[in-house]
A and B are shown apart, each in its own frame.
Chain A
């Protein structure tokens, strides 16, 4: 079978997809934290600028952002290979969406909790990490997991600018076999890739669900489902 014949080639692409996805997740998380922090900064100028940047990143099509980074950055003297160019642009996009998720999570924690932390003498980082974040996590995680699956899906955009990930590998296989053997196996290869991405994203949402359970384990009983916004449909449509 064709796919087995090219399994090493596909496997190399698969590894690159995973690698790019990991870089994207880390990069987007970092950007999201930075953006979220900047959005709650004291300086009006900083929040204004970052707000504008975040909105632009969210409103410009990701396809355009990816191409823009690839074509425009070299003009500014920054030459990145396709991998890092797409890593940068998609991470910034993910960070802009992630910043909104983090902010929504932090504002969902009732004000009284912060006041209680103050009363206990917890300040700054300790207040955030010990009191606010654990309560914000159940709100943050579901949309964040869907952001991660969006990032994995967005990694396929790298193929457009030449990252050798699994989607690009599929394209190459189709080109080669069409040229050498005649008859395009495109439906087979793309069908396989659809299933591949589906399984990958499904595994990620499974992992996300168990992660979510970790943070909601103290909420026992029936109101667990009603207390949380379970159905976070389409926070980040990629």
Chain B
């Protein structure tokens, strides 16, 4: 292991990491918003809309992310729909993550027992008050762990985007290996970087979970 080589490669790798983080952050935030919307349609919307959401979720979960990425980056341009490498990556990753987030949020909503609705009616709460003040806090607690799982997966799966030539962390490492043949050094470094990021994300998830559970913690 040649540490000087790693130090020399760090500036490039950090540029890659920045791209990885940018794509992940965009996809994660978009997928959380779209996931909540999708779950709302899935639970309350029109029957046809409901079926569409179910079909979407099933289709995304039943197909490899890699093929989805290729369909969006190489397939759509042949139909005249063209995105840049960056945006096609964000779109592919967002579409993938949204399917999982819809399921997570839906499961969270399903964990709200039906008696609670009656309780809200008895208290004279309006529909929106019921939704925001009662359902949301309960559902968020249940949906948080799986949702954070998906967030971490979204970050990890951004590595798939190196196949389309997006200059993110894995791409930088593989690109350098093609010139310098320092596979051990490069993979050791990016593994450490990925592990570090996953630990930070998982730690954040634990913090939020802890905060949300504070009302129920033992005093």
* A197 neighbours in B (Cβ, 8 Å): 62-64, 67
Flag B73-86 by CB within 8 Å of A: 1 or 0 each.
01111110000000
Q: A64-B194, A72-B184, A190-B75 are known contacts. Are A198 and B59 too (CB-CB below 8 A)? A: yes
- A234→B62 CA distance, assembly (Å): 12
Q: A64-B170, A190-B67, A234-B104 are known contacts. Are A149 and B62 too (CB-CB below 8 A)? A: yes
* A188 neighbours in B (Cβ, 8 Å): 75, 78
* B158 neighbours in A (Cβ, 8 Å): 61
Instruction: Confirm or deny: B14 has a beta carbon within 8 angstroms of a beta carbon on chain A.
Output: no
* B76 neighbours in A (Cβ, 8 Å): 187
Q: Would you call A156 and B156 a contact (CB within 8 A)? A: no
Main secondary structure of the interface of A (DSSP, over half): helix
Flag A59-95 by CB within 8 Å of B: 1 or 0 each.
1111110011001100100000000000000000000
Q: Would you call A157 and B66 a contact (CB within 8 A)? A: yes
Q: Which of B61, B100, B195 has the most CB of A within 10 A?
A: B61
Residue of A190, A198, A233 near B104 (CB, 8 A) is: A233
Q: Would you call B63 and A201 a contact (CB within 8 A)? A: yes
- A121→B146 CA distance, assembly (Å): 41
State the Cβ distance, B10 to closest chain A Cβ, in Å: 17
Q: A61-B170, A75-B183 are known contacts. Are A183 and B78 too (CB-CB below 8 A)? A: yes
Instruction: Confirm or deny: A186 has a beta carbon within 8 angstroms of a beta carbon on chain B.
Output: yes
Q: Would you call A56 and B195 a contact (CB within 8 A)? A: yes
6 residue pairs from A and B, CB less than 8 Å apart: A61-B158, A64-B187, A68-B183, A156-B64, A190-B71, A237-B150
- On B, residues with C-beta under 8 Å from A are 59, 61-68, 70-71, 74-79, 100, 103-104, 107, 110, 146, 149-150, 153, 156-160, 162-163, 170, 174, 177, 183-184, 187, 190-191, 194-195, 198-199
For the complex with contacts A186-B78, A188-B75, A234-B100, 14 further pairs of A-B residues with Cβ separation under 8 Å are A59-B194, A60-B156, A64-B170, A71-B183, A153-B66, A183-B78, A184-B77, A186-B74, A187-B75, A187-B78, A198-B63, A231-B110, A233-B107, A234-B150
- On A, residues with C-beta under 8 Å from B are 56, 59-64, 67-68, 71-72, 75, 149, 153-154, 156-157, 159-160, 167, 171, 174, 183-191, 193-194, 197-198, 201-202, 231, 233-234, 237-238
